[in-house]
Amino acid sequence: NHDDDDNDDDDDNNDDNKIEEERYLIKWAELSHLHCTWEKKEHILDQCGNAKPRLRLFHEKCGEDGCRYDESIRGDGEFYDDRILQVERILDIQEVDNDDEECEEVAQEEKESRDRGGGRQFLVKWCALSYSSSTFEYEHDLVSMNVSYEAHVESFLKRSQKPTLAMRKKDLLQHERKARLMTKIFRNSTSASATSSFMPMSKSKMNKNAHKKDRENKNEDDD
């Protein structure tokens, strides 16, 4: 029993000795929200030239829970809208340049850990963000952070596929069929318009108009 009491006292002492440390969740410029980090205030002030106005703006706009965005903007996310961590579209795929030692190391690391896509980088358009917020992401980062992207890669490769001769012929035939159809529709509409504007006159009405004109001419001669 004495031992238990001593352990409880130690736990209480450990709790009392714990020091709370204030950190800020930082979204870094030109990086996606996948790469947000928790930083101390002094580190932020030391590393970022525009840190002071940014921190002041944060404290002016953060809520009681210490978050920059309220629940209506965060949605189901704890700090921001989780949709901005979802891939909407892959805009480009690049292979790592093996002449760059740093990139070569990344490519080698990926080849050791995975059998597909060694050294690939994707230009990612994120959900709920504009195209100007698109970022390049290493494939192994997306994998390690459980970001779904494979279907978007397949879609990009399909869009980027060079058409074969058979595909070009098929597209040409479809274009020609559409052109013939449009020509036929135009001719039919033109013919219908011309028919409706031509009003045939009966024989009796034509004779009546002719007699009327003759009388008018005779009156002019008498004058």
pLDDT band, very low/low/confident/very high, at 21 (cuts 50, 70, 90) = confident
| Rounded Cα distance, 91 and 159, in Å | 10
On the question of pLDDT at 152 being above 90, the answer is: yes
Q: Which is more confidently placed, 69 or 93? A: 93
CB-CB contact of 149 with 135 (8 Å): no
pLDDT of residue 35: 93
On the question of pLDDT at 108 being above 90, the answer is: no
| Rounded Cα distance, 54 and 72, in Å | 22
pLDDT of residue 151: 95
What secondary structure does DSSP assign to 100-137, as a single string? SHHHHHHHHHHHHH-SS-TTEEEEEEETTS-GGG-EEE
Question: Highest mean pLDDT: which of 39-53, 115-129, 143-157, 175-189?
Answer: 143-157
pLDDT band, very low/low/confident/very high, at 135 (cuts 50, 70, 90) = very high
| Rounded Cα distance, 181 and 146, in Å | 50
Q: Which is more confidently placed, 213 or 161? A: 161
On the question of pLDDT at 32 being above 90, the answer is: yes
pTM: 0.55
| Rounded Cα distance, 211 and 80, in Å | 91
User: Both tokens of residue 15?
Assistant: 């709790």
- First vs last C-alpha separation in the chain: 146
Residue with tokens 């189901």: 76
Percent of the chain with pLDDT over 90: 24
On the question of pLDDT at 107 being above 50, the answer is: no
pLDDT of residue 113: 47
pLDDT of residue 170: 82
